[in-house]
Amino acid sequence: MEGFAGPRQLRRLLDAVVAIGSELELEEALRRIVQVATDLVDARYGALGVLDETGTRLAEFITVGIDEERRAAIGNLPEGHGILGVLIVDPKPLRLPDLRDHPDSYGFPPNHPPMRSFLGTPILVRGKVFGNLYLCDKSGDDVFTDIDEELVTALASAAGIAIENARLHARVADLALFEDRERIARDLHDTVIQRLFATGLTLQATVRLVDRPEVVERLERMVEDLDVTVRHIRSVIFELQTARLPGNSLRQAVLALCADSARSLGFEPVVRFEGPIDSSMDDHEAEHVLAVLQELLSNIARHADATDVQLSIVVGDGELTMSVLDNGSGISEGVMSGRGMDNIRTRAHRMGGDVEWRPSPAGGTLARLQVPLK
């Protein structure tokens, strides 16, 4: 042992613990942990590798000391082989004067800066390894000391608490969002739908008092529009009450994709939802639906010369139906036999469904995807 940490080092450790404990957002907390660990032991490079759900490889790798240009030149981030993998297999502090001399060293990939001295330690959250801290190149070409190891180990313990705190904060935010969803759903049901329903009844009663056919027709169309609006609002209410917590929203992803497509189409598609869209399928199935939609919109932008696209996604009777209608020039045989269309068919079949294209009576093309729901 080289003695104990002095007052100055303990002060630096205390400042580091306070710094990481003040972060409530998980992503920012992780970055702060790497930065303060690097500063604490005067390391030139630092990284925090977050383990995946299996605990056998790295799913995320946050670095300090390597700029974005160098990081991009290195290429793919490490997954936990070589020295990095040693801490995954044997989660305890590891200190090396020269990591290149270790038997498990794989060397560095192209464009990676040379590194020599190494100090690594696991970060535990509730007794389970969350990830590992990796520090390289002690300043002044020195090696990391016993005291450095003690300081980083202590910091890793505090980091585990900070990470758990950030997770709990995120959970509280999710619960608050869930409560807001419930409140909005109640307001929509108790106030908005009831008023629309009352307005519809009033218009229906007014129809019987009108003699002019054109006015009767207009009032009946208004009643139909109100019925459609009520169905849409009820669909939104269902989504608000059954949305996954936390989770990804297919509805929001579709709207975002359509908004992005406006740059290539020259306009934004009109979107209609009906039924419990978000709760109807898991994330993997939703990815297939989004990929199909993206390919359809891309084909319309490249080939259809359309000025209008109507998108409808309906969930009901045990299946999801997505219809994309454009007013363009139609689909040629070359497009129908292209790789994009083959990809769409493959995705539809993987979900146990089917996809079809047919001319629209008003011109253009109607594409329809139908998949069963589990």
pLDDT of residue 196: 80
CATH number at residue 37: 3.30.450.40
Residues 198 and 268 in one domain: no
pLDDT tier at 356, thresholds 50, 70, 90:
very high
Same domain? For 24 and 156 the reply is yes
123 part of a folded domain:
yes
Residues 355 and 255 in one domain: yes
Please, which pLDDT band fits residue 24 given cuts at 50, 70 and 90?
A: low
In this structure, the answer to whether residues 108 and 178 fall within a common structural domain is: no
Domain boundary, last residue among 242, 269, 295: 242
Q: Distance between CA atoms of 363 and 97, rounded to whole angstroms?
A: 73
Separation of alpha carbons 116 and 237, rounded Å: 59
Q: Does position 254 have pLDDT exceeding 80, yes or no?
A: yes
The domain boundary residue, chosen from 217, 242, 267: 242
- For residue 80, the cross-strand partners are none
User: Before 93, cis peptide (omega within 30)?
Assistant: no
- Please give the backbone phi and psi of residue 93, each rounded to the nearest 5 degrees, phi first: -55, 140
Q: How confident is the model at residue 3 (pLDDT cuts 50, 70, 90)?
A: low
Owner of token pair 């189409």: 265
Q: What is d(CA 98, CA 115) in angstroms, rounded to the nearest whole number?
A: 8
pLDDT digits (tens, 9 = 90+) for 179-197: 777 777 777 777 777 778 7
Query: How would you write 195-206 as a 3-class SS string?
Result: HHHHHHHHHHHH
pTM exceeds cut of 0.85: no
Say if 34 falls within a structural domain: yes
Cα separation, 29 vs 215, in Å, equals: 64
Alpha-carbon distance of 156 to 162, in angstroms, equals: 10
Helix or strand (DSSP H, E) at 355:
strand 354-359
- Per the structure, the count of domains in the chain is 3
Q: Which residues contact 340 (CB under 8 A, 6 or more apart)?
A: 295, 298, 299
Domain boundary among 242, 261, 277: 242
Domain with 232, as residue range(s), is: 174-242
- With a pLDDT cut of 90, the percent of the chain lying above it is 18
Q: Which residue has the higher pLDDT, 112 or 338?
A: 112
